[in-house]
Structures are given as C-alpha cells and as structure tokens.
Amino acid sequence: MRKRKRTPCGRALAVLVLTGIVVQLIHMPEVSAYFADRNEKNNVLQVGDNTSTIEEKFDPPDTVTPDTTYNKTVSVRNQTDTPCYVRVFVEKDQSEIPLFIAFDTKHWTEKQADGYYYYRTVLEGKKKTEPLFTSVTTGKTEETFRILIYEETVQAQGFQTPQEAFASIRGEQESGV
C-alpha cells in the first residue's frame, strides 16, 4: 500500500472546513431562531354583570271604564354596579282595543323600527330610569286588556349609543335607528 503525502493545501482545506463547521455550530441558536418563533401574552378578561328589573306602579281597576286615564308608571332598575344601556318593548295584548299611552320622548326614543324604546343615556349602577310612561288612557271600550312590557340591558362600556350596543350583541352594525 502506498502512503499518501499530505500537502499544505490539503491541510489548509481541512482546517477551513473544520473552521466552517465550528462557526456554524456557534451560530446555530440564531439560525434556529430564524425558523421558529414563540410569543406569549396573558390577557385578563372580566365579565360584566348587568341584571335589571321592570319597576311598575299600577293599581289595576276592577272594571275598565271608557275614556279614563289610569296611572301606570313603568321604569327599569339596574340591580348591579355595571353601567348599561336599556331598551323596552311595549305592546297591548289586543291590537284592536283603543288605548293611548303618553310615552316620555325626552329620556326615551320614540318606538324604533325594531319595536323597542331606547333609554337615551347610560343607566348607571343601582339607578333607575326615568319612567317610560306614567299613564294609560282607554278609548271607547270596556274590555279588559293587558299591556305587555319586556326589557333588555347591555353593558354600556365601549359603545357610544344604545342602538350601537344592542346591534353589537346581534353581530350587526348600527343601523342608524
């Protein structure tokens, strides 16, 4: 067997390759960071609690008298500390019965296209709205009737108007109500 001679050029090439390998090993964390990235954020979420109730002052008569005004005050109370927007749906149970309800349009909107009356301002925690109405006047009827009242509230934070807040829970944009 023949013995190979080592040349200075071969040694230089071996040193150069070895140096390249060492340099790559030294910079390996930087290179691997190029291929992988990790970022972590912890978010704290708090759920607002808004519980509300309808407060009504009404002494129902035994019989309905035609063309008579009955005192009936309807408000909404915020039971929690969370400021909220309020809307109320009001409907009589028999559409043909002549009734007149004087709604407060200073603190409440007129009936909107969606059938609700919206309280114009944020209802702060533990507070009560101004009455939506304070009386009901019968027309020429002696028939008994019911007035159906339904209320909803939504947390006010992050919204400029009640319509915007309620549209957000339906996943819609404010429709300019």
Q: Which domains does the chain have, with CATH numbers?
A: 52-169 (2.60.40.10)
Q: What is the pLDDT of residue 49?
A: 84
pLDDT digits (tens, 9 = 90+) for 91-142: 999 999 999 999 999 999 999 999 999 999 999 999 999 999 999 999 999 9
pTM: 0.72
Q: What is the pLDDT of residue 177?
A: 45
Cα 110 to Cα 118: distance, rounded to the nearest angstrom: 8
Q: What is the pLDDT of residue 90?
A: 97
Q: What is the pLDDT of residue 40?
A: 82
Residues of the chain with pLDDT under 70: 1-8, 25, 27-37, 45-46, 48, 173-177
Angle, in degrees to the nearest 10, between helices 8-26 and 28-35? 50
Cα 166 to Cα 159: distance, rounded to the nearest angstrom: 9
Segments of the chain assigned E as strands: 52-58, 69-78, 84-92, 99-103, 116-118, 133-138, 147-155
Other CB atoms within a 10 A radius of the CB of residue 131 amount to 19
Other CB atoms within a 10 A radius of the CB of residue 145 amount to 15
> Which 3 state secondary structure label does DSSP give 19?
helix
